[in-house]
Amino acid sequence: MARPTPELIESLRRTAHKLKAGSPYQWGHMGGCNCGNLAQELTKLTRDDIHRYAMQRYGDWNEQVEDYCSTSRLPIDLIISEMLTAGLTIEDLKHLERLDDQSVLNRLPIEERFLKHNVRDDVVRYMTEWADMLEEQLLKRIVLPLPLEAAYV
């Protein structure tokens, strides 16, 4: 599961917001699909640049992350490296492309868990719920020190 970082949480929320507001979405486009839209936010590359870089190797996002090599220096691997540095895992990217991470889906009401991987509103719902889940995990890790006077009561 993703490492909950403020950058990742904010990127998921910004991506969901942009998609909801009508940002280009095309599941079959490597720069405009689920992972592609998040990659735009994390890398600041355009959808066309991401797509062009991905086309230097075969396959969709699932195949690209399966073949990921941190030392290849292929542009798509550099993009994936940046996404991993932001807190994602290879498995997270696979789940995002299919909207099928059970820990995210289980947070939704039962009747809303059957998301379609290529439907904009479902992508927005998934990313929003995922961001909420990561934020909750991050907040649980924060321990505030007691005020000095409370420590001696």
Handedness of CA 25, 113, 125, 55 (dihedral sign): negative
Given a cut of 60, whether residue 153 has pLDDT beyond it is no
Task: Please give the share of the chain, as a percent, with pLDDT higher than 70.
Answer: 95
pLDDT at residue 137 in the model: 96
Phi and psi for 32 in degrees, rounded to 5? -120, 10
pLDDT at residue 99 in the model: 97
For the entire predicted model, the pTM comes to 0.89
72 token code pair:
């290849």
10-59 pLDDT tens trace? 999 999 999 999 999 999 899 999 999 999 999 999 999 999 999 998 88
pLDDT, the chain, mean: 93
How far apart are the C-alpha atoms of 65 and 90, rounded to whole Å?
Answer: 6
Residue for token pair 């909750």: 136
